[in-house]
Amino acid sequence: MTSVAVTSRSFSRNPVLRDELLERYPNTTFNDDGLKLAGDELVAFLKGHDRAITALETLDAKVFAELPELKVLSKYGVGFDMIDLGAMTKAGVKLGWSGGTNKRSVSELVISFAVQLLRHTPRAEREVINGTWRQHVGRQLSQRTVGIIGCGYVGKDLAVLLRAFGCRVLAHDILDFSDFYTEHAIEPVGLEDLLQQSDVVTLHLPIDNSTRNILSAERLALMKPDAIVINAARGGLLDEDALKAALTEGRLGGAALDVFVMEPPEDQELLELPNFIVTPHLGGSAEEAILAMGRAAIQGLDDNQVPEKGIFPKGY
């Protein structure tokens, strides 16, 4: 009988997803203890199962080598940077993956960050809590210039929403989405031009050697002193130390990070800045997104293929 292991804590806690998965695969092991699985503990949890649903767990060549019985790995969520796809291909393990399942959840969070930072609500809230009642004059998101770095599923969804605010939307991507840009009046530009012109810069990229620290200290210095930067994609896309320095010295207006190089983050000085918003990697944690990601992962147990460079998954 086919056996399935679910490493994700949020999937395992969701009664709807549990019932739908058990209806299809009765022999399923859930992460009911809420364990953060890694290394040997992850291998032990997956041992004896021929299919698995994973989320943010790291699956490398060593893990695949120790799980010869694993035939299918279905991804709960859209990112696959935590999976060694090359090792997966060598092991002959098939991948179930669907892109864009949480795009609206992330897009709405980004818009909420932009509005909060432009209206100085993080600073104002802290002042009120500490006994100071003072109005701050901010700026509307409407009519602002917003630069989107990475125009995949989330980037496209966000661009359309921003156009409804009357924003001028700039986009930078290594791929050509000219039809989409034309249809929605999006302006494709180089990275440096985007940084120099934008009031709001938001990152929507996978993390790899070509994107790591794409917003370096030098590139952050290109931004307007009252501009804001948002990262709700992957930790490591920007230099967190350089960001803290720019915020502290008044060279940037504000920042919001939902993701970090190390999670949870340990830089208390950064977290306590009045022009900074921090959230605990919850971009895809809307009820609707959880169901969409979970159902896609369940379907991926049946619809899957061995990863192939340049073909599947999209972006590999």
Q: Residues 69, 263, 288, 308: which is the catalytic one?
A: 263
The answer to whether 232 and 109 are in contact (CB under 8 A) is yes
Check whether residue 90 and residue 139 sit in a common domain: no
Check whether residue 227 and residue 293 sit in a common domain: no
Q: Which CATH number does the domain housing residue 220 bear?
A: 3.40.50.720
49 catalytically annotated: no
Report if residue 204 sits inside a domain. Answer: yes
Q: What was the pLDDT predicted at 259?
A: 97
Check whether residue 264 and residue 145 sit in a common domain: yes
Check whether residue 83 and residue 179 sit in a common domain: no
Report if residue 19 sits inside a domain. Answer: yes
Q: Per the structure block, which two tokens stand in for 7?
A: 């490493």
User: For each of the chain's 316 residues, which pLDDT tens digit applies?
Assistant: 899 999 999 999 999 999 999 999 999 999 999 999 999 999 999 999 999 999 989 999 999 999 999 999 999 998 888 999 999 999 999 999 999 999 999 999 999 999 999 999 999 999 999 999 999 999 999 999 999 999 999 999 999 999 999 999 999 999 999 999 999 999 999 999 999 999 999 999 999 899 999 999 999 999 999 999 999 999 999 999 999 999 999 999 999 999 999 999 999 999 999 999 999 999 999 999 999 999 999 999 999 999 999 899 987 8
281 catalytically annotated: yes
Check whether residue 272 and residue 199 sit in a common domain: yes
Q: Three-state SS string across the chain, please?
A: CCCEEECCHHHHHCHHHHHHHHHHCCCEEECCCCCCCCHHHHHHHHCCCCEEEECCCCECHHHHHCCCCCCEEEECCCCCCCECHHHHHHHCCEEECCCCCCHHHHHHHHHHHHHHHHCCHHHHHHHHHCCCCCCCCCCCCCCCEEEEECCCHHHHHHHHHHHHCCCEEEEECCCCCHHHHHHHCCEECCHHHHHHHCCEEEECCCCCCCCCCCECHHHHCCCCCCCEEEECCCCCCECHHHHHHHHHCCCCCEEEECCCCCCCCCCHHHHCCCCEEECCCCCCCCHHHHHHHHHHHHHHCCCCECCECCCECCCC
Report if residue 57 sits inside a domain. Answer: yes
Check whether residue 77 and residue 126 sit in a common domain: no
Report if residue 255 sits inside a domain. Answer: yes
CB 258: neighbour CB atoms within 10 A?
24
Domain that holds residue 92: 4-101+286-300
Report if residue 179 sits inside a domain. Answer: yes
Q: Per the structure block, which two tokens stand in for 31?
A: 């992460």
Q: Residues 49, 144, 172, 234: which is the catalytic one?
A: 234
Check whether residue 37 and residue 135 sit in a common domain: no
Domains contained in the chain, number: 2
Check whether residue 123 and residue 210 sit in a common domain: yes
Q: What was the pLDDT predicted at 307?
A: 95
In this structure, the chain runs to a length of 316
Q: What was the pLDDT predicted at 316?
A: 81
Report if residue 309 sits inside a domain. Answer: no
Q: What was the pLDDT predicted at 23?
A: 97
The answer to whether 149 and 191 are in contact (CB under 8 A) is yes
Quote the pTM value: 0.92
Report if residue 246 sits inside a domain. Answer: yes
CA–CA distance, 193 with 6 (Å, rounded to integer): 44
Report if residue 93 sits inside a domain. Answer: yes
Q: What was the pLDDT predicted at 81?
A: 85
Q: Residues 13, 163, 281, 295: which is the catalytic one?
A: 281
Check whether residue 154 and residue 261 sit in a common domain: yes
Check whether residue 142 and residue 185 sit in a common domain: yes
CA–CA distance, 166 with 143 (Å, rounded to integer): 5
Check whether residue 22 and residue 116 sit in a common domain: no
234 catalytically annotated: yes
CB 280: neighbour CB atoms within 10 A?
11
- Sign of the C-alpha dihedral computed for residues 33, 37, 39 and 42 taken in this order: positive
Check whether residue 146 and residue 210 sit in a common domain: yes
